[in-house]
Amino acid sequence: MIEKYRTHYSKDIGEKEYNNMVSVAGWVEDIRNLGSIAFVILRDRMGTLQVTCLKKDKKELFEKLVSLPRESVISVRGVCKRNKKVRNGYEILPEKVEVLSVSDKPLPMGVVDKTGIEFETRFDNRFIDLRRKEVQAVFKIRDKVIDAARNFLRKNGFIEVHTPKIIASASEGGTDLFKVEYFERIAFLAQSPQLYKQMLMATGLDRVFEIAWYFRAEKHNTTRHLNESTAVDIEMAFIKDEKDVMRVLENMVFEIWNAARTCEEELNVLDIELEKIRVPFRRITYDDAIEMLNEQGHRIKWGEDFGSKEEGTLGRIMEEEKKVFYFVTNYPLETKPFYTMPQEDMRYSRSFDLGCKGLEIASGSQRIHDKKLLIERVEKCGLNPRDFESYLKAFRYGMPPHGGFGFGIERFLMQLLRLNNIRECILFPRDRNRLTP
């Protein structure tokens, strides 16, 4: 790849470049001025390299380099020389240096400094925080995870779609919606693509997926919640029941987990070794989960949802069984949204959650495809069918049995990479208090 200021990234350079001219570009990470010789560590997207400048040979270049503040941006053209004593096994002897941008000083935070940096300082200066190799590693793995999910779904007959994010009514009921002015009326930011995914099942596009955005105006402030998050959302038609959807989910997770395991360099930076996983994942019913949890001292009544403490305990129980992932199935119908298919006795639903090490990372179900039953459930959940007219219309003219799930990308990464805060897993987090940068 040839660009104006760069012919090679740091990791592109090998033996064929030795004793030849190359152009490199990036940020000045560090400068060591020893008086007669200067060592400049230059950082690009692929890593770092050393530029070595002798004062007696290149006095003007030497003075230019040693005067630069850290994190300035430069382009260097010079001869690549083998040197087994330095990083990467080579160094660049500069012939020409262009200063592309001079950094202000002092820096609001360090990039390679070993001293601790406060969490809020990092996110106030996220553009600098993202220069740190351990932070970049998270997003390189995130890219690999999303790419693997896409590839898996396409191999299994799914096509990618994009649904509206400005909607007229709640996707799932409830009031946790962000209002927006839409010309002369009020609209909302979508909680999920749920209703549109289901409508697409009536079109003949019977397997769809979306890398979706969720907007939820919940006033929480925890280490596992965001007000703007992303997910892999799928919907598939002509299913027998929710088990068909669960098989797609567990095999997708298996694929992306193994894709993440190939990111050896990034995992080494994060000091993580990923264990092997197997499919099928462990399945336990809601009733069994309650029994397990109550044996551990919890006091859960039938029909109650699980909170973070209960999820954590369940994760530890599964860990004792050496299970990283596990499904909880057969939730009470009253705990699930209106579109969730009931079981025959109407007490239980054809729904499931996927847990990973004590955190719910995905939720799905078989959906109701019968219009009459769907309207009954809308009303039973205290909602007005008139608010869902365009959605319900899709069920009047031929709707096959279908189901789907939403898989939280940030939650998955948080557990995969053993991070303590979900904000680490998205570039510019939006939470109860943060709207910038």
Active site residues: 216, 218, 224-225, 360, 363, 411
Structure tokens at 112: 């390679």
Cα 423 from Cα 224, distance rounded (Å): 8
Cβ atoms 185, 384 nearer than 8 A = no
For every residue of 132-180, DSSP letters joined together read SHHHHHHHHHHHHHHHHHHHHHHHTT-EE----SEESS-SSSSS---EE
Helix (H, G, I), strand (E, B) or coil at 356: strand
Cα 159 from Cα 314, distance rounded (Å): 35
Backbone angles phi, psi at 180, to 5 degrees: -135, 150
Closest alpha carbon to 177 in 166, 168, 188: 188
Structure tokens at 121: 């300082």
Instruction: Return the amino acid letter for 271.
Output: D
Strands 402-408 and 228-237, bridge-based pairing: antiparallel
Instruction: Classify burial at 114, counting beta carbons within 10 Å of its beta carbon; exposed 0-12, middle 13-18, buried 19 or more.
Output: exposed
Backbone angles phi, psi at 36, to 5 degrees: -100, -15
For every residue of 279-337, DSSP letters joined together read SSPEEEEHHHHHHHHHHTT--PPTTPPP-HHHHHHHHHHHHHTT-SEEEEE--BGGGS-
Q: How far from the centroid of its chain's Cα atoms is residue 126's Cα?
A: 16
Backbone angles phi, psi at 235, to 5 degrees: -140, 140
Backbone angles phi, psi at 361, to 5 degrees: -115, -10
Q: How far from the centroid of its chain's Cα atoms is residue 125's Cα?
A: 20
Q: Nearest 5°: CA angle at 377, between 373 and 380?
A: 135
Cα 55 from Cα 57, distance rounded (Å): 5
- The answer to whether the bond into 280 is cis (omega within 30° of 0) is yes
